[in-house]
Structures are given as structure tokens and as C-alpha cells.
Amino acid sequence: MTTRHNSLKYNQENYNLKKSYLTTHFNGLAKRTITFLFALFVMLSTLPVMASVPATADNSLPFAAIESTTVDYDQKSFFDAISADNIINVTIETNITELIENRKVDKYMPATMKWQDNSGIWNTYEVGVKPRGKFRRRICDFPPLKIKLSKNELAESGFATYNKLKLVTHCVEDKGEGNSNLIKEYLAYKLYNELNANSFRVQLIKITYVDNVGDYGEETRYGFIIESKKELAARLGGVECEDCYNPTTEMLSGKDLGITAIFQYMIGNADWDIPMVKNLALVKLNEGKMIPVPYDFDFAGLVSTDYAIPNPNYGLTSIKDRVYLGTELNNNQMRTLLKYFVDKKKDLERIVKDLKPLKFGDRQEVLGYLNEFYSQAELLLSTNGVNIYEALKNAHTKSVYLLETQPLGK
């Protein structure tokens, strides 16, 4: 649509600027795997033999029982109602042109939201919508949105009053790229759901945007809706801790933090931080511990968006690079975590293979990227006397050093 592209012309400058400093090439899957394995063997041979390390207060929580703290909560929510194994159809009608062009304005615009349930009935709600986020809000052709429902209308429908939802949009105009990026990020959430029930639920949708005033017209794209933090907290039997910055490891659930850290390593995501609570929700339980729950995976190597930038703080040169950012654990705990992930390999592969909205080539690429992680994990589990934490934390840096300064075989 020419009118839509004209309305977004100002944003193209940001998009072009963004493109100028992105990584222009990635290592191939085979090259990265061989390099890692070679470097890891070299590194393992130089690491000191590791004595049995007693657990400290920071890492003494047991990891053997990987289980959910999910509790039953009293009332069905709007998110419960729209949750389905299949893709659901949604329509949002509002002034789309103004919504996009005034993306910096933090104000809800009136909109009509319709969604089709499994019986084929369309349900209509008057809602507010506004752009959200930071980086994506600035650089996306179509920014992510926040949807605010009426608490009164929810109550009249018999729903709990969790009335704010995040909508992840296609971001870029190009349908192929936008669909691929969005569905792979949705996949990251689903993979974490399989690993840990203490996680954000997501619902894949086909959403039709209808501009009722401006020049955007009408367009149908993929999107997905994320469960609200307040509902997540209630479901886990706690409350959202909004101002809990710089948490100590004693304050956090060791099991959940461990799964989060290995998961982020597996998907190649360095865009998270424990002290700054970046891209983590913290749910405080009644007994005082907090559950960290990760979100926002668009900078992960598994997703590999065109706009993602390797984190220079950790010496990464490609968005596909991996670095372990979890807290230090002893070898028994690291082994338990890695073994848990290895035991889940077939389940994770099944989720990837069954996600048919993602193109076959993309699914194969994701499976290849996950297999790189599993090659590393299985090697570490089969090797005795090494510090697994140090190996994961430093393996990539050493492999890059060897690749760039010492040709293989010397």
C-alpha cells in the first residue's frame, strides 16, 4: 500500500541508520560447531582439575526437582479465554496511521478489538491501544502494542480483571522477514514453556489491523499476545516485584535462575541482566523467594532478527554467538541443569518441528542452532574434571581468539 509506506517514510531513515551498523555476516552452523569443539578441547586441556566444590549460600538450592510452583487461581481470565492450541483470529480497528506516526506519545487510543473463539463466534471489546517498548518502539515499521481492556467489561464477562496485555507485532514491513522473526520469537517462549512452567504464556494470532480514519488501510499479519505480569504472578502464587533491582542470588529461586541462564545460553541471548533486572520479571512468593521469568528474545541468535546487535560487553562479534551470563554454580549443579536440558532435547525438537507457521527452512535452521548447543552440552557432560561454569562462560571468547589468531591445525 503506497499510502502506508508514505505514512512511514520518516521511520525509514531510522531503519537505514540501524542497518548501517549491523553485523553483515554470520558464521555457518558447521564452522561454528567445529570451532567451538576444537577450542573447547584446547581449553579443557588447560583448565585445572576441579576439586569437589561445596555448595555455597548462593547456589545451595537443589536442582534435581525441576517442577512448577504454579497454583490454581480463582477466576478465568481474558487470556485464558483466548488461549488455544491453534492460531486465533483477531481484529483491531483504530486510527492506525496516528498510532504509528505518534509512537512516542504514551497515551492509549480508543480501539475496537474482536477475537474469534473456537466455536467461530466473534467477541467484541472496546479497548485502548498504544505503542510500547523501547528499541522496537523506535525502529520498527509497526511498533509493538499494549492493549488495555475495560475492567468493568471484563467483570461483566465473568473474567478476572487482568486488563493489560502485550501484543508483539511483525515489526518490519517485509512479510517474509517479519513473519519469520515474529514466529521464531514466539517459538522461544514456547521452548521455555516446555522447560519451565514458571514462564509467560503466549498465544499466536493472525491479526487484521483496520485503519478507521487514516491512510493505512487494512492488513492481516501474524502477532502474538503475552500474558500480563500481574496474571503471571497470581498464577505462580505471588506478586509482581516492580522495584526489586540488583537482587542477590539468595533472594532468587536457584532452580528458576539456573534454567533461565542455560536457556538464554541455548538460544544465544545476551540481552538480559540479573542486577539490572533487564528482560526479567520477578515474582515474589509468600515465603520471600523471587522467581525470575525471562522475556523479550528478539536479540537471540535463535531468532536472528536483522536489527539485533551483538553485545559488545562480552566480546561477541555475531548475534549467533553464545555467552553464559548466569551466576556461578558448582559442577554438580551445572551438570544437573545440563542433563535436564539434554533430557528435554526431543521435546524441544518436537515443538520446533510442529510449528508449521514457521517455514521449513527456518525450522531446520533453528534445529541446527539448537544442535550446536546440545553438542556442547553433551561434550561437557562426558568430560570429567573441568569447571563447567568457566567452560560455558569463556568457551566462545577462546574460540574466537583461536579462530582469528591461530589457524586451525597449528
pLDDT, tens digit (0-9, with 9 covering 90-100), for 299-320 = 999 999 999 999 989 989 999 9
Instruction: State residue 30's pLDDT score.
Output: 45
Structure letter (DSSP) for residue 312: G
pTM score above 0.95:
no
**Local confidence band at 45 (pLDDT 50, 70, 90 cut-offs):** very low
Instruction: State residue 22's pLDDT score.
Output: 38
Instruction: State residue 297's pLDDT score.
Output: 98
Instruction: State residue 73's pLDDT score.
Output: 65
**Local confidence band at 243 (pLDDT 50, 70, 90 cut-offs):** confident
Indicate whether 326 pLDDT > 90. yes
The pLDDT > 70 percentage for the chain reads 78
Residue range 350-365: mean pLDDT, rounded: 98
Number of C-beta neighbours around residue 97 at 10 A? 19
Instruction: State residue 384's pLDDT score.
Output: 86
Burial of 108 (0-12, 13-18, 19+ CB in 10 A): middle
Indicate whether 351 pLDDT > 70. yes
Burial of 327 (0-12, 13-18, 19+ CB in 10 A): middle
CA distances from 121 to 59, 77, 88, 165, 255 (A): 51, 18, 11, 21, 42
Instruction: State residue 103's pLDDT score.
Output: 93
Indicate whether 293 pLDDT > 60. yes
Indicate whether 399 pLDDT > 60. no
- 257, 246 in Cβ contact below 8 A? no
Between β-strands 88-94 and 202-211, what pairing exists: parallel, antiparallel or unpaired? Answer: parallel
Domain layout of the chain by residue ranges: 26-70+236-405, 78-233
Instruction: State residue 345's pLDDT score.
Output: 98
Instruction: State residue 347's pLDDT score.
Output: 98
- 274, 266 in Cβ contact below 8 A? no
More confident residue, 18 or 142: 142
Instruction: State residue 67's pLDDT score.
Output: 52
Grid cell, residue 103, equals 509512537
Chain-wide mean pLDDT for the chain? 84
Alpha carbon distance 204, 88 (integer Å): 7
Indicate whether 158 pLDDT > 70. yes
Instruction: State residue 7's pLDDT score.
Output: 39
* E strand segments, 132-217: 145-149, 164-168, 202-211
More confident residue, 396 or 316: 316
Residue range 196-222: mean pLDDT, rounded: 95
The pLDDT > 90 percentage for the chain reads 70
Instruction: State residue 35's pLDDT score.
Output: 47
**Local confidence band at 284 (pLDDT 50, 70, 90 cut-offs):** very high
Instruction: State residue 70's pLDDT score.
Output: 58
Alpha carbon distance 158, 31 (integer Å): 55
In sequence order, the β-bridge partners of residue 239 are 284
pLDDT in tens, 64-82: 444 555 555 678 999 999 9
More confident residue, 244 or 154: 154
- 286, 237 in Cβ contact below 8 A? yes
Instruction: State residue 398's pLDDT score.
Output: 54
Indicate whether 237 pLDDT > 70. yes
